[in-house]
Structure 1
């Protein structure tokens, strides 16, 4: 009886561990996708961008289904950005917000007041 209970508990722990590992893998994939999209968005939306550096360690997933990633441009750590994305059922959604400092490079004319994706 005790052996049966031990096997059931071990099996349950393995299933829970596997489920958590799958969830962590999906989260990492979403973050990687968001980081790539963020880089593309910065190049598309702003003039004079020579280099975009994404901070690979920084990301935040909010309880309301958002994901934000950040970095800096042109090797200037004062020119930071933070881009927020909506997480949807089937993956990463569109960018919903961009936060930049006042001295960030100029927005391209075709992308004023909107996010060119």
Structure 2
């Protein structure tokens, strides 16, 4: 029973990480219309959840990001896209 509960809890945490990552990308980058997440993810020892995916239906437009659930924010990310003008010096709210 505990194993099933742990899997359900982890799945919910990954879903939250994906939702926050999508909001972050759309708030901070130009021309991002849709985001698709891959099934794989990584949870680091500190509890951060790294998610992977691509945007605008083009699998060559890859991104990844680490969601820090204790601070409810994206702590690190990699994406090959143009930042919105108002979000270049600091991350825009998402």
Normalising by structure 2, report the TM-score.
0.85
1:49 corresponds to 2:32: yes
Report how many aligned residue pairs link the two structures: 93
Counterpart contact for 2:20–2:67, Cα < 8 Å: no
Normalised by the length of structure 1, the TM-score is 0.70
Which is greater in Rg? 1
Q: Give every structure 1 segment of 4 or more consecutive aligned residues whose post-TM-superposition deviation is greater than 4 Å.
A: none
Query: 1:8 aligns to what?
Result: none
Task: Give the match for residue 62 of structure 2.
Answer: 80
Larger RCO: 1 or 2 (CA < 8 Å, sep 6+): 2
Give the structure with the higher percent helix: 1
CA RMSD of aligned residues (A): 1.6
Structure 2: 5+ residue stretches without partners: none
| Structure 1 unpaired stretches of 5+ | 1-17
